[in-house]
Structure 1
Amino acid sequence: MEFGSIVTFLEDKTILVTGATGFLAKIFVEKVLRVQPKVKKLYLLLRAWDAHAAVLRFQNEVTGKELFRVLKEMWGENFSSFILEKVVVVPGDISSEGLGIEDSDLRYEIWD
């Protein structure tokens, strides 16, 4: 599969990323957001006690890294709104039943 067809494939797709603070996941998230800004939504599962802790962890360990510099330059002052539109930070734990997602509405949204 060629790179261009992968980019086309990702358009309007919804993707669940587990281990979002890990090395490969950060690279994947940055690459998808940079080359296919028309991705519908990225749900990022982060181990955290609650939504607030998950968002802080996302900001510190993912978008706060140098890896996102180019994306920040591309979007400028609109970077935060772009991230809010495309990324949903999900507090949970891959080793727990139902991925440890406590919010039943969010769990249904992801499953849908």
Structure 2
Amino acid sequence: MESSAVADCLRDKCILITGSTGYLGKLLVEKILRVQPVVKKLYLLVRAPDATSAEQRVLSEVIGKDPFNLLREKYGITGFHNFIKEKVVPLAGDIVDGYLGLHNSRVHALSEEIDVIINVAETTNFFERFVP
């Protein structure tokens, strides 16, 4: 499949991404925003106790990193911030919790809106048993 076909599949879609604060996750977020700027929304699930902390974590650990420099140059500082605010929605939660640590009402609303789920998350508990 050509990369343009993949980008076309993401046009006007709402995407839930887990693991966006990790190395591959932030590269994935940047790539989607760069090659398919008409993606509707990127919901980024991050470990955080509340919405404010989730937003801060996304801004500092994802959007604030070097891979986003091309987008900053393309849109300028103000345009970049507006673009990110329009496209990126941080979600406070955790993949190891039931319903991803989200309230039932939020899960229901997201289930009506999300078109694609991309899981690049991993657990950082190094005491877990490996099961092949």
TM-score by length of 2: 0.80
| Number of the residue aligned with 1:5 | 5
The residue identity in structure 1 corresponding to 2:79 is N
Distance 1:103 1:48 in 2: 17
Distance 2:104 2:67 in 1: 30
Which one has the bigger helix percentage? 1
Distance 1:93 1:103 in 2: 14
Please give the secondary structure, in 2, of the residue aligned with 1:69.
helix
Aligned residues: 111
Higher relative contact order (CA 8 A, sep 6+): 2
Matched, 1:61 2:61: yes
- Measured on the aligned residues, the alpha-carbon RMSD in Å equals 1.2
Percent identical residues: 50
The residue identity in structure 2 corresponding to 1:4 is S
| Number of the residue aligned with 1:90 | 91
| Number of the residue aligned with 2:116 | none
List structure 1 runs of 4+ shifted beyond 4 angstroms: none
Give the number of the structure whose alpha-carbon radius of gyration is greater: 2
Matched, 1:99 2:100: yes
Please give the secondary structure, in 2, of the residue aligned with 1:49.
coil
Please give the secondary structure, in 1, of the residue aligned with 2:96.
coil
Distance 1:19 1:100 in 2: 14
TM-score by length of 1: 0.93
